[in-house]
């Protein structure tokens, strides 16, 4: 309505993005109850008839447009792929005579069984790209409407589609490759065989209910408090994560989100070299969220949050059960049997899980934040779903044969989280910590010594760093104004998994566009405008935006209000076991308190919760009784 009143929404204008505008952190921290709140939205508007686009920020509270910035697609990139463009490319491609002839030469005439995929084109300086809104279309065949098409790639051919001119502008019909025949339907008992009958039910019950409480968007669990938000682009966002420590409520992270991801493929063939999907910026990850089902996606005492997203015409779209909140037993928290006293104590670890799932084309991803009793924060991504397939060329160095004649090209799943850190307040600093062996010498005659080096990352350019598991490298985020009882600066430590960063050549288009994935760590000075590690509009963007631009300012970050960006992920060399649907893979990182507390913060966790661990049930006897010495000694 607001946009219509200002004459900005015509019949062909679509919302390529519509979401709440993140307020400036400083305004939020200074906010006192009762003050008016200016709720603002950000919209990326696309005229599908002309390709003209603009980014508009408007206040709902004031009913005013605050800013309108026109988009030059050749320089700024294109608005994200619209959900409705799935249908558009299908119509355009199937109406193209050359493409229909190419299908007929492959013996494919029932075009209702051909599935056309709207794939982001990237930016390779091709004449077919410049200033146009383009999608690349690879096609897959079904044997019948319920057959999963990913088993039957129609390879060797790709159509480049101009969405504004509504036509195929280039058809690369490179080679004839046979379409793999074997079906792969994980929902078809003829393929899977009958379900096994040997699994007995596991029931997860909490007879007294869950230990968390939810008040609107505020979640409180044990000592943790945070707010839950959902963004059409980033999906789940956690705000103002803090930990109650005695009488103090201590901030840890102001805002945490998955800010970008990329899935770059390794196949250099003329039909597929461009495959690199930025699922957050190009496909608006949050828009692809699933409605979760109790008993299937989540077990136990669950609290669900719904999400409300916008359709292309600006109407609300409700997603029930978009976010799952529950607590999990996580094995032993700590345990000690004292060999000199009769003390034997065990406590159980628990974690609070806040998660959501998305489906982006062939892949599905679960994103899980975990908060633990001991102050640990963990983020875990669970890629699953179906691998992107190709016709398998025997001996290919770039793909695995996963079924007869069916290839799965090698690729990476690389993620970048934005962590607006706030350890005990805004001034924070980052040190790189490495384990350091000490050579034999005067002070170390037996060569047993080793120590740890701490290097302060003083400016943004110092802080673009690579993990190094051979020295156990971690990054410690501390507050230079806050110390624990031992006079140590309070800190959290980012523990990376340290798997490979982007494997594409540093001079490639992918490396320019996904520069965030060329380092594991980036640290920047807080700026509310710096939200996206690969820039605002990713689709067809030439590259260089986002983190490379931010750190080129080379601002000091030692004791400033800082944002930590961590890139991580997996290299996926598909296995036959990943077909036809891949068991969940895992990747992520951990943030662990290091001197944030004065001692183990879980000493008050009770031993007995519904179970009785009596001394009689312990297997260990005191030392004198357990060690029986031969009587003649």
Nearer to Cu ion, 54 or 384 (CB): 384
Q: Quick one: which of 454, 456, 419, 375 has its CA closest to 562?
A: 419
Q: What is the 3-state secondary structure (H, E, C) of 10-32?
A: CCCEEEEEEEECCCCHHHHHCCC
| Complex with Cu ion: residue 277 or 550, whichever CB lies closer | 277
- Contact status, residue 254 vs residue 25, Cβ threshold 8 Å: yes
User: Where would I find the H helices in 455-546?
Assistant: 509-513
Beta bridge partners of 244: 249
Single out the catalytic residue among 155, 267, 279, 558: 279
CA 409 vs. chain centroid, Å, equals: 21
Rounded Cα distance between 401 and 526, Å, is 46
Query: CA-to-CA distance for 282 and 285, rounded, in angstroms?
Result: 8
Q: Put the strands of the sheet holding 53-59 in their side by side order.
A: 13-20, 40-47, 53-59, 64-71
Indicate the residue among 326 and 572 with the shorter CB distance to Cu ion: 572
Query: Catalytic: which of 160, 254, 283, 363?
Result: 363
40 or 572: CB nearest Cu ion: 572
Q: Residue 398 or residue 597: which is nearer to Cu ion going by CB?
A: 398
Give the CA count within 13 Å in the CB-facing half-sphere of 107: 4
The number of angstroms, rounded, from the C-alpha of 437 to the middle of its chain's C-alpha atoms is 35
Smallest distance, Cu ion to C-beta of residue 411, A: 6
Collapsing DSSP to helix, strand or coil, 254 comes out as strand
Q: How far is the CB of 297 from Cu ion (least distance, A)?
A: 20
Cα separation, 86 vs 117, in Å, equals 7
3-state class (DSSP) for residue 210: coil
Q: How far is the CB of 211 from Cu ion (least distance, A)?
A: 36
Q: How far is the CB of 256 from Cu ion (least distance, A)?
A: 24
**Which residues pair with residue 256 across a beta bridge?**
238, 419
* Smallest distance from Cu ion to CB 570, Å: 7
Assess contact for 164 and 133: CB atoms under 8 A.
Answer: yes
Instruction: Reply yes or no on whether 365 is catalytic.
Output: no
Tell me the Cα Rg of the chain. 27
Residue nearest to Cu ion (CB): 572
Count CB-CB contacts under 10 A for residue 394: 7
* Cα 303 from Cα 210, distance rounded (Å): 9
- Judged by beta carbon, residue 495 or residue 572, the one nearer Cu ion is 572
CB of 572 to Cu ion, least distance (A): 3
Min. distance of Cβ 415 from Cu ion in angstroms?
12
Helices then strands (H, E): number in the chain? 9, 30
Beta bridge partners of 328: 351
> What's the min distance (Å) between Cβ of 172 and Cu ion?
24
Indicate the residue among 264 and 405 with the shorter CB distance to Cu ion. 264
Nearest CB to Cu ion, comparing residues 102 and 381? 381
Beta bridge partners of 567: 416
d(CA 515, CA 162): 27
| 279 belongs to the catalytic site | yes
Give whichever of 412 and 479 is closer to Cu ion, judged by the CB atom: 412
Reading the block at residue 209, the tokens are 């209910």
| Terminal-residue alpha carbon distance, the chain | 94
Q: Which parts of 178-297 are beta strand (E)? A: 212-215, 218-221, 224-231, 235-245, 248-264, 276-277
Q: Report the residue number, 351 or 572, with the smaller CB distance to Cu ion.
A: 572
How far apart are the C-alpha atoms of 220 and 213, rounded to whole Å?
Answer: 5
Please, what is the minimum distance in Å from the beta carbon of residue 282 to Cu ion? Answer: 17
Q: Whole-angstrom Cα distance, residue 546 to residue 530?
A: 7
Q: 417, 418, 431, 454: which is closest to 558 by C-alpha?
A: 431
CA 141 to chain centre: 30
Say how far residue 486 (Cα) sits from the centre of its chain.
Answer: 37
272 versus 572: smaller Cβ distance to Cu ion: 572
- Using CB under 5 A as the criterion, which residues of the chain lie in contact with Cu ion when the complex forms? 572
- Catalytically active residues, by annotation: 279, 363
């Amino acid at each position: 309505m607001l946009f219509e009143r200002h004459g900005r929404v015509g019949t062909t204008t679509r919302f390529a993005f519509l979401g709440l505008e993140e307020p400036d952190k400083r305004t939020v921290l200074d906010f006192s109850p009762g003050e008016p709140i200016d709720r603002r939205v950000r919209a990326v508007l696309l005229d599908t008839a002309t390709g003209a686009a603009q980014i508009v920020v408007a206040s709902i509270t004031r009913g005013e447009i605050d800013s309108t910035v026109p988009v030059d697609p050749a320089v700024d990139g294109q608005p994200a792929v619209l959900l409705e463009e799935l249908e558009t490319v299908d119509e355009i491609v199937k109406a193209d005579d050359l493409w229909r002839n190419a299908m007929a030469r492959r013996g494919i005439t029932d075009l209702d069984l051909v599935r056309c995929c709207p794939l982001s084109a990237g930016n390779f300086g091709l004449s077919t790209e410049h200033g146009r809104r383009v999608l690349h279309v690879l096609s897959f065949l079904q044997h019948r409407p319920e057959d999963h098409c990913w088993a039957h790639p129609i390879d060797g051919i790709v159509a480049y589609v101009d969405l504004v001119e509504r036509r195929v502008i280039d058809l690369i019909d490179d080679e004839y490759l046979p379409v793999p025949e074997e079906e792969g339907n994980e929902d078809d008992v003829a393929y899977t065989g009958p379900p096994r009958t040997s699994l007995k039910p596991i029931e997860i019950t909490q007879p007294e209910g869950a230990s968390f409480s939810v008040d609107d968007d505020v979640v409180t669990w044990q000592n943790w408090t945070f707010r839950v938000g959902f963004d059409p682009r980033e999906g789940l966002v956690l705000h103002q994560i803090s930990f109650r420590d005695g009488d103090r409520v201590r901030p840890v992270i102001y805002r945490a989100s998955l800010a970008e991801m990329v899935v770059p493929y390794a196949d250099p063939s003329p039909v597929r070299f461009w495959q690199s999907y930025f699922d957050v910026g190009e496909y608006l990850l949050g828009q692809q969220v699933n409605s979760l089902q109790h008993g299937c996606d989540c077990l136990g005492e669950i609290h669900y949050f719904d999400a409300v997203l916008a359709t292309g015409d600006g109407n609300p779209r409700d997603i029930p059960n978009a976010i799952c909140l529950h607590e999990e037993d996580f094995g032993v928290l700590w345990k000690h049997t004292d060999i000199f006293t009769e003390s034997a104590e065990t406590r159980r670890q628990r974690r609070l899980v806040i998660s959501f799932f998305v489906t982006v084309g062939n892949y599905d991803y679960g994103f899980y934040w975990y908060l633990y009793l001991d102050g640990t924060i963990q983020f875990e991504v669970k890629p699953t779903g179906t691998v992107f397939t190709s016709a398998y060329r025997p001996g290919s160095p770039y793909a695995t044969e996963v079924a007869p004649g069916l290839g799965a090209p090698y690729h990476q799943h690389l993620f970048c989280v934005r962590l607006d850190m706030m350890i005990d307040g805004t001034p924070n600093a980052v040190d790189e910590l490495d384990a350091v062996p000490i050579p034999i010498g005067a002070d170390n005659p037996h060569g047993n010594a080793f120590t740890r080096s701490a290097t302060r990352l003083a400016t943004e350019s110092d802080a673009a760093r690579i993990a190094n598991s051979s020295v156990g490298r971690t990054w410690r985020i501390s507050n230079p104004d806050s110390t624990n009882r031992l006079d140590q600066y309070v800190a959290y430590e980012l523990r990376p998994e340290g798997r490979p960063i982007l494997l594409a050549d540093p001079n490639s288009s992918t490396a320019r566009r996904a520069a965030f994935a060329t380092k594991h760590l980036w640290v920047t000075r807080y700026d509310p405008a710096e939200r996206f590690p690969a820039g605002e509009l990713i689709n067809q963007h030439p590259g260089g935006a986002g983190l490379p631009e931010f750190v080129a300012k080379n601002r000091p970050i030692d004791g400033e209000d800082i944002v930590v960006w961590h890139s991580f992920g997996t290299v996926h060399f598909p296995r036959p076991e990943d077909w036809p649907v891949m068991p969940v893979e895992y990747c992520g990182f951990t943030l662990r308190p290091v001197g944030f507390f004065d001692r183990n913060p879980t000493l008050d966790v009770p031993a007995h919760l519904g179970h009785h661990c009596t001394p009689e049930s312990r297997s260990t006897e005191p030392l004198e009784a357990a060690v029986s010495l031969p009587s003649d000694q």
